[in-house]
Chain A
Amino acid sequence: GGAMSFLKRFPPPAEGVRHRQPDTEAVLAGRSLGAGTLYIAESRLSWLENSGVGFSLDYPTISLHAVSRDLSAYPWEHLYVMVNAKFEEEDTKEAPVAEGEEEDSDDDVEPIAEFRFVPSDKSALEAMFSAMCECQALHPDPDDEDSDNDYEGEEYDVEARELEQGDIPSFYTYEEGLLHLTAEGQATLERLEGMLAQSVSSQYNMAGVRTEDSIREFEDGMEVDIAPVVAGQFEDAEVDH
């Protein structure tokens, strides 16, 4: 029989490989392509048969992937991958496929190929699934019409405006943050802590401001509504000094 024409020889990916699963069978539309190794890399998904030929799938063409353990649907636990593309099979497009994998008329509109990757080690499926989720997230849809991609405008840069700073890639936990304090930040921290020390001694507590103790207590910093220690002293957080 003819080989699958989309199979090519290429070296295994070397960079950005999030997961490598040897001894994995690849199945396309119910037809086995043999045993090989699946490479879940940041740039693309590749499978190489032990003989050295295989194929790659680009993440933007992958509509979904899933872990299937439903043996009544398919006899082996596997990673299911649905791709928005046509892959040539041995029984090619012209004649209707006798076996029963019927070509629907809407295949012309929406080509779909179904791959199954069946690892001999079933316990690896979770890791394979997660690695694929991570890699998929690295390839957001460039043709996204729905979401307004113009979030770079100044009116969206709420956080920078609040801080009068520029690009903030992430926020720090308390411990990390201390390590990253600039001289100015350190001065600010000391000034605020000094104010706290004064206010503690005069039995005031500013709502929402953390002393050393309360920082440890609220590790994730998510507590907002802290009642004043001395009830009734003041209703809101604005305390003049």
Chain B
Amino acid sequence: MEVSHSVKERTIAENSLVILLQGLHGHVTTVDLRDESTATGRLTNVDAFMNMRLAEVTFTDRQGTVSHLDELFVTGRNVRYVHIPDEVDIRATIERQLQAIHRVRYFGARDKGRKEFPRAKHK
């Protein structure tokens, strides 16, 4: 998924496991919520505060009633657990997201006089 345009959000993502969740963009994911309801749907966005947006959601409320929601937004505060899909390679996902952040960092604002040559370690 697209890397955030906010320096603060990139910093937070880079230093927490939110970065893993951001790499799950497009995957069908199950999220357990604080009130014991669960939502399963395609992850379309996760921000640095773990606010999550899902599409085509099967929602099971805490009483067990199942319903279908076109789109769901849950605040990070109310996320208890995110089930990482089995097909996801966790380490590769994190590395890919870190690379995306670094590309934005080193090449995003070249006209402000940033160093143009990639550092050796980023080749």
**Once the chains bind, are B116 and A64 in contact (CB under 8 Å)?**
no
CB distance from A150 to the nearest CB of B (A): 10
**Once the chains bind, are A224 and B114 in contact (CB under 8 Å)?**
no
What are 14 residue pairs bridging A and B, where the CB atoms are less than 8 Å apart in the complex?
Answer: A63-B78, A64-B72, A66-B73, A133-B51, A141-B77, A143-B77, A147-B12, A163-B114, A168-B7, A171-B109, A209-B116, A221-B108, A224-B103, A238-B120
- How far does the alpha carbon of A239 sit from the alpha carbon of B45 in the complex, in Å? 41
Partner of A66, one of B50, B57, B105: B57
Summarize B's interface: helix, strand, loop or mixed.
mixed
Which residues does B use to contact A, with CB under 8 Å?
A: 5-8, 11-12, 15-16, 18, 33-35, 47, 49-51, 53, 57, 59, 62-63, 65, 67-78, 100, 103-118, 120, 122-123
**Once the chains bind, are B108 and A171 in contact (CB under 8 Å)?**
yes
Interface residue stretch chosen among A1-9, A14-22, A91-99, A151-159: A151-159
Residues of B within 8 A of A64 (CB): 33, 72-75, 78
Partner of B69, one of A70, A137, A225: A70
Q: Is A43 an interface residue (CB 8 A)?
A: no
Residues of A within 8 A of B77 (CB): 60, 63, 141, 143-144
In the complex formed, the residue of A with least CB distance to B3 is: A222
CB distance from B28 to the nearest CB of A (A): 16
> What are the 5 closest A-B residue pairs judged by CB atoms, nearest first?
A177-B111, A171-B108, A73-B67, A171-B109, A66-B72
Interface residue stretch chosen among A24-32, A34-42, A184-192: A184-192
Q: Chain A contact residues (Cβ within 8 angstroms of B): what range?
A: 35 or more
**10 additional A-B residue pairs with CB within 8 Å, beyond A73-B65, A132-B73:** A63-B35, A68-B68, A68-B69, A74-B67, A140-B76, A151-B11, A162-B106, A168-B7, A172-B109, A207-B123
A:62-93 near B, CB below 8 Å: 62-70, 73-74, 80, 82, 84
Residues of A within 8 A of B108 (CB): 171-172, 221
